[in-house]
Amino acid sequence: MFGLAVLFTALGTQACASPHHHVAEVRYITASRVNPHGEAPHAEIRLVSSAPDGTKNFVLVLAEGDEVLTALGDFARAEAIVNARLQAIGAVHDPEIAWFDLERKQYKAMTFHEQMEVLSLSGDIVLGPDGAPVVHVHAVLGSVNGRSFGGHLLHAVTNPTLEVYVTAFPEAVHERSAPEKGIDLIDLSRP
């Protein structure tokens, strides 16, 4: 019996030392410190349809090395996006995702130093309290062993591609500052 326990302990230790063991680097940050950082020089944009009511559909293709939130922010500013929804699939490396801790009023940010599949990425683009476009994205990411991790996307570098579909609407939607919550919230009372 003792030998079996040693064998299981050794196997467990070996499994934890495996390159497929996911240990996230964790930090807490305030919402005001959540800003895109990086470049997206290879991102391509195509307008694929435009409706009479002003609704537009775009496809963005990000290439290896493009930082996801930087590319989306650059797109939102270039196209003067005031309200949009987006979804994407592809792959990234070194993603940082976060979970908002209501008690702390901070994000628990977790960085995974590995290649991951983007199983689902969805979000919106609205106007922030300062009138500039704000990109808000959540992602579910899959690891090499089939485990999934998800949350608010803070950072990710495209590798090899990310295909993003964006539907932009002509009527603006705004966020308002909600210091009591520690985040900005959509404010539908503003036109």
User: In 10 A of CB 125, how many CB atoms?
Assistant: 24
| Residue of 107, 35, 99 whose CA lies nearest to 67 | 35
Categorize the per-residue pLDDT at 20 as very low, low, confident or very high, splitting at 50, 70 and 90: low
* pTM of the model as a whole: 0.86
Report the amino acid identity of residue 9: T
Residue labelled with tokens 């307008």: 47
Helix and strand element counts for the chain (H, E)? 2, 10
What pLDDT sits at residue 118? 98
DSSP state of 67: B
Are the CB atoms for 97 and 107 separated by under 8 Å?
Answer: no
The CA distance from 83 to 78, in Å, is 14
The CA distance from 133 to 169, in Å, is 13
User: In 10 A of CB 127, how many CB atoms?
Assistant: 20
The CA distance from 124 to 135, in Å, is 6
| Residue of 55, 50, 71, 187 whose CA lies nearest to 131 | 187
Over residues 93-149, the pLDDT tens digits come to 999 999 999 999 999 999 999 999 999 999 999 999 999 999 999 999 999 999 999
